[in-house]
Structure 1
Amino acid sequence: MQKVWFITGSSRGLGRSLTVAVLESGDKVAATARNISQLDDLAAKYGDRLLPVQLDVTDYARVHDAVAETVAHFGKIDVLVNNAGFGITGAAEAYTDEQVRSQLETNLYAVIEVTRAVLPYMRKQKSGRILQVSSIGGRMGTAGVSIYQAAKFGVSGFTESLAQEVKELGIWVTSVEPGGFRTDWAGDSMTYAPTIEEYSLVNSRADFFKGGTFVAVGDPDKAAQVMVNLTAHPNPPVHLVLGSEAIKMLGNMDDLRAKEKEEWLPVSLSTDHVDNAGDFFNSEFTKSYLNR
């Protein structure tokens, strides 16, 4: 059955690769971009299966209008992909207030708002797929990208909670967590905080990105095809890591976290109140929560 997709950030990078892959699969796309003229070639090729939608995802009133326009045009939204976003590098204390706000507004708040705008339609039709493009940086921290990763950790956590809320409604939610892919994330889409000399590790990372020598492992066209296939899977994962680099990094971090947990386990357990501990673990809510 032909599906209708709503994809943010469709004009470049992974969003464009995904838009093309969806159209090639025969589905329809409401493709959002701040400058929809960048979608003219796709509109000419795919005709009325593509609906270009002008959208700055930080204009939250416009978000709801864009979703409503899509439903009015195509009749439904089967798949939402929150893809719009950009990177930023620098020391945590160095970012300007505007840089911090713009990161959170674009990479986190907009994801939440677009999702909230689409959910009523999916709830009424009792079906839907939501793919949140997070990052391996939403599962582990890396020096130099603290604010970007704060947003992506938020996306991954929001996804995990939301997936539990809406599963009974026939809606499946996945946090797609790529490593480095050959998009312009570290190029034109990357911004930088002012430099503070003492942060040598952070500054070396910024210099690496600015130098243009960063070559990512991941292929965005392959990632796009995985995402298309994912929407047909009967039991999709809540977290999907993409790329061998990301798998290696996550494995290393899991090992470090497991070691730290065991090392500090006596301290963790020492903070329980002796009263009612058994009642807590025996309650039906706690059992369902801990065993979910």
Structure 2
Amino acid sequence: MSKVLFLTGAGRGLGTDIARAALAAGHRVVATGRRPAGVIEALGGEQDNLLVTALDITDPDSAQAAVGAAVAKFGRIDVLVNNAANFHAGYFEEISPAQMRRQIETNLFGPMNVTRAVLPVMREQRSGHVLTISSIAGLIGQEFCVAYAAAKFGVEGWMESLRFDVAPYGIRTTIVEPGFFRTELLVDASTTWAELSVDDYAERTAETKAVWQGMNGRQAGDPAKLAAALLKVTAMEEPPVRFVAGADAIQGAESKARELLAQVDASRELGGDLAHDDVPTA
């Protein structure tokens, strides 16, 4: 069945692969980006089932305008794919407060802005699916990723809670946790390095930055295959609350689950009996 997909960050990387796959499958696609001309070029030109419109996800008014254009063109929005993101890399003390705020503004408040604009449309329809691209870094803290992980951990909590808000209106939510895919997240247009310098971190920063730069274009995951898998998720009558994508992400999530259970068990003696004395024990 043909659906209307509203997609952020469609001009490059995974967003372009999702848009291409959706169009090839016969869906109608609202492909958004800061530079509409770049989106049209990436997708091979204008098409009947394609609406390209400008969107700065950090601007709520821009989000409202893009959603209005989508509804004017296609009459509805069945699936929102919050894909647009960037990456601020570095150690916490070397990432400036302004950089930290910009990372969270884009990667957390950005998808919130777009979702806030889309949800009234979905509520009126009494149907919809909000799919937000998080990361395995939204589940597992990693070295050199404090800003990115902080934003993505926020995405996880927001999305996991949002599902309870919107479920009564026929709206489903899915958190996508990809591992390392050969997208454009590590290119200069998407990656910002820490702008501060602390002597104690200097050697580690140089070495770690070189490792991250060396990964670009060598990641194992195929974004075209991820795009195809995401379309299968959007076709499900009961889509998963969480979709862990990629063998590396699945392995990491399994390890994190075991680690959490071990930490819970280790907390029982000290943390299991902290209620008031007048509260009956279970």
How big is the shift at 1:48? Answer: 2.1
Unaligned segments of structure 1, at least 5 residues: 282-292
| Alpha-carbon distance in 1 for matches of 2:119, 2:51 | 20
- How big is the shift at 1:196? 2.7
Root-mean-square deviation (CA, aligned residues, Å) is 1.8
Q: 1:155 and 1:277 mapped to 2: Cα distance? A: 37
Between stretches 264-273 and 223-232, larger displacement belongs to 264-273
| Cα deviation digits, residues 238-281 of structure 1 (max 9, x gap) | 11110111111122222222212211211111322232356xx8
Q: Distance in 2 between matches of 1:65 and 1:81?
A: 17
1:85-164 equivalent positions in 2, closer than 5 A: 85-164=85-164
CA distance in 2, matches of 1:277, 1:206: 54
Aligned length: 279
Rate the CA distance shift 1:35–1:46 in 2: closer, same or farther, 3 A: closer
The C-alpha deviation readout for 1:47-94, integer Å capped at 9, x for no partner, is 121111111111111111111111111101011011000111111121
Candidates 206, 219, 222, aligned match of 1:219: 222
Hey, what does 2:278 align to over in structure 1?
A: 275
Cα distance in structure 1, aligned partners of 2:43 and 2:85: 23
Counterpart among 207, 210, 223 of residue 207 in structure 1: 210
Q: Deviations over 1:7-52 (max 9, x none)?
A: 0000011111000000001011111011111122466555121111
Q: 1:276 to 1:225 in 2, by over 3 A?
A: same
Q: 1:197 to 1:243 in 2, by over 3 A?
A: farther
8 A contact 2:88–2:193 mirrored in 1: yes
Whether 2:237 is the aligned partner of 1:254: answer no
Q: Partner residue of 2:24?
A: 24
Match in the other structure for 1:191: 192
2:20–2:43 CA contact under 8 A, matched in 1: no
Find out whether 1:241 has 2:214 as its counterpart: no
Distance change in 2, residues 1:277/1:35 (3 Å): farther
CA gap of 1:213–1:27, structure 2 versus 1, over 3 A, is closer
Letter of the 2:200 partner, please give it.
Answer: E
Task: Please tell me the residue identity of whatever aligns with 1:18.
Answer: I
Distance 1:63 1:38 in 2: 18
Which has the higher mean CA deviation after the structures are superposed, 88-97 or 12-21? 88-97
Counterpart code for 1:113: N
Distance (Å, rounded) in 1 between the aligned partners of 2:244 and 2:276 = 38
Compared CA separation, residues 270 and 276, structure 1 to 2 (3 A): closer
After superposition, the Cα gap between the structure-2 partners of 1:46 and 1:176, relative to the gap in structure 1 and judged at 3 Å, is: same
CA distance in 2, matches of 1:179, 1:201: 23
Whichever residue aligns with residue 258 of structure 1, its letter is L
For normalisation by structure 1, the TM-score amounts to 0.90
Task: Among all aligned residue pairs of Structure 1 and Structure 2, give the percentage whose two residues are the same amino acid.
Answer: 39
Q: What is the DSSP-based 3-state SS (H/G/I as helix, E as strand, rest coil) of the residue aligned with 1:237?
A: coil
Alpha-carbon distance, 1:192 to partner: 0.7
Query: How many Å separate the matches in 1 of 2:186 and 2:121?
Result: 35
User: Is 2:33–2:56's contact at 8 Å kept on the other side of the alignment?
Assistant: yes
**SS of 1:198 mapped into structure 2:** helix
For 2:207, give the aligned amino acid: S
CA contact (8 A) 2:182 2:217 kept: no
Unaligned runs of 5+ in 2: none
The answer to whether the 8 Å contact 2:181/2:219 transfers is: yes
Answer whether contact 2:136 2:178 (CA < 8 A) is retained.
Answer: yes
Could you tell me how far apart the structure 2 residues matched to 1:218 and 1:65 are?
34
- Paired amino acid for 2:164: Q
The one-letter code of the counterpart of 1:111 is: P
1:161 aligned partner, one-letter code: S
Query: SS state of the match for residue 84, structure 2?
Result: coil
- TM-score, normalised to structure 2's length? 0.93
Q: Which range is displaced more, 190-199 or 201-210?
A: 201-210
1:135 maps to amino acid:
S
- Equivalent-residue separation in structure 2 for 1:170 and 1:213 (angstroms): 40
- Which residue of structure 2 aligns with residue 166 of structure 1? 166
